[in-house]
Amino acid sequence: MADTKALTSRAADFSAWYNEIIARAELADYSPVRGCMVIRPNGYAIWEQMQRALDQMFKDTGHQNAYFPLFIPQSFLSREAEHVEGFAPEVAVVTHGGGKELEEPLIVRPTSETIIYAMYAKWIQSYRDLPLLINQWANVVRWEMRTRLFLRTTEFLWQEGHTAHATEAEAEEETRRMLGVYRTFMEDWMAMPVLTGLKTDSERFAGALRTYSCEALMQDNKALQAGTSHNLGQNFSRAFEVTFQTAAGTLDHVWNTSWGVSTRLVGALIMTHSDDNGLVCPPKLAQYQVVIVPIHKSDDERATVLDAAVRLRKELAAAGIRVHVDSREGMKPGAKYYEWEGRGVPLRLEVGPRDVASSSVVLARRTGGKKETFPMEGLPARIAGVMDQFQADLLAAALARREAASLRGATKEQFIARMEREGGLVYGGFCGRGACETEIKEHTKATIRVLPDPEFRSPEVPSRCIWCGGPSIVEAVWAKAY
């Protein structure tokens, strides 16, 4: 419930604003267990919309869903050297079950590569079994030091795709394909622009050959890794003996990929679009795209107005629009406006006696503050058009914000100054040396978010490393990150 009327502003304290939005919109709550979160119905509804869209995209690219167990034998993790090193510190271990100490402790999955490739070893014999394209929706546990609702919690929900291919080229193609799927989802559904590209070794997934990611810039000018896609090479197939017989009759290890996005996307959504009045949710992912608020004084008015509201709801719902009528009594219309605004509903229809008399409705958009009057006749088509525009406007605004916060062609000094003050993205040449990367992190707190894909690179290719001035081998994008 909203106990104080105004949220802390983004400018005053971005973290406080973020937490207050989640409370105000009733998206999530803290759990009795440190670092865990309860996803409340309003928050889960957004996740469900995300799942629905992504799941369809996975199916459209030939993947099937399956489910692998939460518990994994501890020994599995250590089969891939880099993998165990990457995850060991944050793994929860079950030592007792059924009142007895277990012979071999079980780990609670921090990710499922090990158990999945152990199973793939049983299922794959021939090149005819490839490619194997499986996704699972699951919860995972990583024992984090410091947590934040949606962005980093001890347990979180995600999907993890795991595929096996006959050739390295096919695995690379799959890795890139799914990165593209994520990008499309983030832009078309979340209205969140992202940079895609390769991670440097220091940010690479433990056990992967190459990690690609989608990076988004939040309103506080910090970057957020929104999704990752890994080319695992043969690292896991060697560790778990996932072999197949080729058409030529030889035996080879399969080439794997894995890719995932999590409930962190809900946090990304919040920090990309919301304002000081509360959540702003793109229509395509909103639980309710339209809320109808009836306005009335007398009982007579109430009956006719509600009647009209319900009729409108049916018309809109029939057109596939997610719509809700807020017919609660004893609450003034203004109070309802504030509540639904805080929850991020894109469009609001106000229906009062005057509107019913003139067969019109008042439409208010979540952003912009203007109200318009539309005839009831043909409303569903009109609303659909407004929603499309709203969705497009959000993406355009977010893109404009990101570009305004992007610095290209900077000197080392400008880079340092930018990170000390406004933050944002800094594009620059990189010599490829880990020493430079580390030094930059120590001096500026900024890390290389991605080595951007060609379409995101600067028009002029940097020739010098932004830090050491040596020859640049690749362009990099730096930012302070979540």
Spatial contact of 230 and 198, defined as CB atoms under 8 Å apart: no
Single-letter amino acid code for the residue at 42? N
Question: How near is the Cβ of 3 to RNA at its closest, in Å?
Answer: 4
SS (H, E, C) the chain: CCCCCCCCCCCCCHHHHHHHHHHHCCCEEECCCCCCEEECHHHHHHHHHHHHHHHHHHHHCCCEECCCCCEEEHHHHCCCHHHHHHHHHHCEEEEEECCEEEEEEEEECCCCHHHHHHHHHHHCCEHHHCCEEEEEEEEEECCCCCCECCCECCEEEEEEEEEEECCHHHHHHHHHHHHHHHHHHHHHCCCCCCEEEECCHHHCCCCCCEEEEEEEECCCCCEEEEEEEEEEECHHHHHCCCEEECCCCCEEECEEEEEEEECHHHHHHHHHHCECCECCCCHHHCCCCEEEEECCCCHHHHHHHHHHHHHHHHHHHHCCCCEEECCCCCCCHHHHHHHHHHCCCCEEEEECHHHHHHCEEEEEECCCCCEEEEECCCHHHHHHHHHHHHHHHHHHHHHHHHHHCEECCCCHHHHHHHHHCCCCEEEEEECCCHHHHHHHHHHHCCEEEEEECHHHCCCCCCCEECCCCCECCEEEEEECEC
**Closest CB to RNA among 131 and 161?**
161
Minimum distance of RNA from residue 365's CB (angstroms): 9
The smaller minimum CB distance to RNA, of residues 255 and 259, is found at 259
Contact 242, 123 (CB under 8 A): no
Q: Which of 273, 287, 274 is nearest to 394 (CA)?
A: 273
Q: Which is nearer to RNA, 103 or 329 (CB)?
A: 329
Of 47 and 205, nearer to RNA (C-beta) is 205
Between 90 and 168, name the residue whose CB sits nearer to RNA.
Answer: 90
Under the rule (CB under 7 A), what is the footprint of RNA?
Answer: 1-3, 5-6, 15, 30, 34, 86, 89-90, 142, 144-146, 148, 151-154, 156, 203, 205, 213, 225, 228, 262-264, 295-297, 302, 329-335, 337-339, 341-342, 350-355, 362, 364, 369, 371
Tell the smallest beta-carbon distance from residue 55 to RNA (Å). 19
Residue 59 or residue 297: which is nearer to RNA going by CB?
A: 297
The minimum distance between CB 409 and RNA, in angstroms, equals 28
Work out how close the CB of 138 gets to RNA at its nearest, in angstroms, rounded to a whole number. Answer: 13
In angstroms, give the least distance from the CB of 393 to RNA: 17
Q: What separation in angstroms does the CA of 349 have from each of 312, 323, 435?
A: 10, 10, 58
Nearer to RNA, 121 or 206 (CB): 206
Smallest distance, RNA to C-beta of residue 299, A: 8
Decide: residue 400, CB within 10 A, 0-12 exposed, 13-18 middle, 19+ buried: exposed
Residue with Cβ nearer RNA (92 or 362): 362
Report whether 346 contacts 286 (CB < 8 A).
Answer: yes
Q: Which is nearer to RNA, 35 or 424 (CB)?
A: 35
Task: Give, rounded to a whole angstrom, the gap between the first and last alpha carbons of the chain.
Answer: 28
Considering the complex, what minimum distance in angstroms separates the CB of residue 150 from RNA? 7
Nearer to RNA (CB atom), residue 154 or residue 257: 154
CB 98 to RNA: min, Å: 27
278 token code pair: 């509360």
Q: Which is nearer to RNA, 34 or 122 (CB)?
A: 34
**Residue 224 CB, nearest approach to RNA (Å):** 7
Shortest Å, Cβ 461 to RNA: 28
CB closer to RNA, 12 vs 473: 12
Nearest-approach distance from CB 202 to RNA, in angstroms: 8
User: What are 77's two structure tokens?
Assistant: 């993790």
Q: Do 110 and 140 touch, CB atoms closer than 8 A?
A: yes
